[in-house]
Amino acid sequence: MSKKISPMSWRKGNGIAGRSWKGTNREYDLFKELTVGVVVVSLLVVAASAIFSSPDDHSVTLKSWATSQPGDFVVTANAELGGTSDTAGYGPPYNSTSGSTQTIGALDLQSLAGVKIPIDTSKDFVIDPLKTLPNPPAAIATWTAASSDEQAAWTLAYGKALDKAKNNNPSNVATGNYGPVPALTNSLLTMAKQGSLDSVLQSGGSFYNFNYTRSVLFLGDGAYLNNLASTLHLGGDQWGMMNETGNYPGQSWLWLFSAFYQVEPFKSLPNADLVVLMIVVALTVLLMLVPLIPGLRSLPKIIPIHRLIWRNYYKRR
Amino acid sequence: MTSIVSPPTNEAPDSDEETASEGEFYTWTGKARRWMLKTLPPQKLLPQTQPSYVASWIYVFGMGAIASLAVIIVSGIILSLNGPSWWHISSLGHFVNSTHLWSVEFFFLFMVVHLWGKFWMASWRGGRLLTWITGVVSFAVSIAAAFTGYLLQTNFESEWVSFEAKDALNAAGIGAWFNVANVGQMFMWHITLLPIAVAAIVALHVLLVRVHGVVSPIDAAKTDTQLRDATFPDHHDTDLTGKTI
């Protein structure tokens, strides 16, 4: 005796849903529908494009940052030099800073991936770019010859002094023992203002470049990029990437992902990124497996929206 | 007006292939052809009729998503052939970029309505599990494809998205291989790998719809008038607009 299958099951069974339809048919032209669909959608797209266009806010550069907010640039350069910036303490895939990864219990996927894109912020963001100048500052030699303790003490002291200075302006910094740090950060500021830091960071001296990792990370370590994004309602606590510059719909399909970042306890979690990503992946898998889950797969029968969809069919029964 | 036609009564095979003896399919190619013809014969692949219950606006959205995908691909090819910065310096380029953006917006709009519609129709019934799964997977892969598009705008939006998005990807260990700030790598994903993936999954989804047919209404019963029509073809009934057939 065959086992009775639920009418909401995905299994083929002997029900009408699992057999060829033997009732009345209607004429249907697949190619005609596709042609009409393409024409209608094309007209809709052209109309929307003509009326609403698309946003194109110019990218910001290290040059525009150094020119408009030199104080923020120098504060960030000092942090890169001293290894105290967000990137310096990020962990994999950029460096191996211990205790910096996002984990769920013993699950540490970030460490598992390893340091695949190695970045030494002091060397890669400050010292090496300065070495490309026609006349590299002599302070590089002083910095390189110093011990790591001396370097840390100089950048820590200079960072505190910059915090106290009006507008973080290096020219307003009180006198102190900062070693070669002011000379290095000021040289980098000048280099950035002239526009040469952008190309050096992007291409590392090569002609071609397709990789903007260093520039993006350096920019993101400062307040400049983040403040601009917040002004354009793109911040993580403003539904972040789901939005788009200007009044455009953006990636509205990311609403669920962005929603978790807006509510407690998720938004305050130190491992929020990993937790939210895992939840969204789990929910996607759940949606995929709805037909296999008793109860969930019966919702369409309990909430009779199908009566509206097939109202002609039910009317003719 | 929707015209109602009698269901096909000729169950005889349409081609010589189906009448051929088993012994004639002795190669891999022949066996594959036999399997394909059995699984999806031409009249199922390109039908001229559909069950009478396939009459609702909800059925439009699946085709709308496919039509949008066609516009996305055409506008994307034009953009990529002209290079990533063309649209910043050309008014025509900016317009093509706008069509690419809006076709993506319509694509997701149609896809979401289609997905929800199919959920409330419980479209997985009658052996259609893989059809449902490929639908959800195509939605997920499309999100990845659209996301990489935002990384290739080469403007402030892409700059910010690459900075903001890296954290979730790095936390999951994906960022080491899928570096959102590496424009060259993202180009590969956006204009080659992900479009191929979306097109392949959508194609599989459509083929599965053709193999299994459109799912019948929930609680459809053998005693329904529409089913009896097949048994009594002379029986007069009304069509979907209420007119006597």
| pTM for this prediction | 0.90
Residue-level pLDDT at B230: 46
pLDDT value at residue A7:
83
Out of B127, B156, B230, closest to residue A57 by CB: B156
Percentage helix, strand, coil for chain B under 3-state DSSP, each rounded to 5 = 65, 5, 30
CA distance B184 to A59: 17
Cα separation, A111 vs A96, in Å, equals 8
* Average pLDDT across chain B, whole number: 87
Q: Do B160 and A248 touch (CB under 8 A)?
A: no
Q: What is the predicted pLDDT for the residue at B235?
A: 42
Distance, in angstroms, between B27 CA and closest chain A CA? 30
Strands B49-51 and B4-5: unpaired
For A17, which of B54, B187, B216 is closest by C-beta distance?
B216
Rounded to 5 degrees, φ, ψ at B70 are -60, -45
Identify the pLDDT of residue A22. 84
The series of mean pLDDT values per 10 residues for chain A, 317 residues long, is 74 86 90 97 98 96 97 97 96 92 94 95 97 95 96 96 90 90 97 95 84 96 96 88 88 94 94 96 97 95 94 85
Beta-carbon separation of B98 and A59 below 8 A: no
| DSSP type of residue A262 | T
A187 forms beta bridges with none
The nearest CA of chain B is from the CA of A275 a distance in Å of 9
Residue B98 confidence (pLDDT) above 90: yes
**Contacts with B219 from chain A: Cβ below 8 Å:** 7, 301
Burial class from Cβ neighbours inside 10 Å (0-12, 13-18, 19+) for residue A147 reads exposed
Q: Quick one: average pLDDT of B227-233?
A: 50
d(CA A96, CA A28): 61
End-to-end alpha carbon distance in chain A = 31
Could you give the ipTM of this predicted complex? 0.93
Two tokens at B31?
A: 């066996």
**pLDDT above 70 coverage of chain A, percent:** 99
Asked if A74 contacts A155 with a C-beta cutoff of 8 angstroms, the reply is no
Task: For chain B, list the strands marked E by DSSP.
Answer: 4-5, 49-51
Q: Which of A26, A109, A212 sits opposite B54 (nearest CB)?
A: A26
Structure confidence at residue B234 (pLDDT) = 44
Task: Out of A262-266, A277-281, B13-17, B86-90, pick the least confident.
Answer: B13-17
Q: What pLDDT sits at residue B206?
A: 97
Q: What distance in Å separates the CA atoms of residue B154 and residue B80, rounded to the nearest whole number?
A: 13
Task: Show residues of chain A in contact with B177, CB under 8 Å.
Answer: 113, 116
